[in-house]
């Protein structure tokens, strides 16, 4: 049971990192597009 909890926490952590990465990449792209306008 403890092992499963650890696995789900790791999964959440991965999703959080992925979300942060996508958010930063998106904001960078938006800034670049805005600058080119």
Give the per-residue pLDDT at 31: 82
Entry pTM: 0.59
Question: What is the chain's mean pLDDT, rounded?
Answer: 87
pLDDT for res 18: 95
Per DSSP (E only), the strands in 1-37 are none
| C-alpha span between 37 and 34 (Å, rounded) | 5
Which pLDDT does position 1 carry in this prediction? 61
What is the share, in percent, of the chain residues with pLDDT greater than 90?
43
What average pLDDT does range 7-34 have in this prediction?
90
Helix, strand, or coil (residue 37): coil
């Amino acid at each position: 049971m403890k092992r499963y909890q650890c696995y789900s926490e790791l999964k959440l952590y991965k999703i959080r990192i992925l979300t942060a990465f996508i958010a930063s990449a998106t904001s960078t792209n938006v800034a670049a597009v805005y600058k080119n306008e």
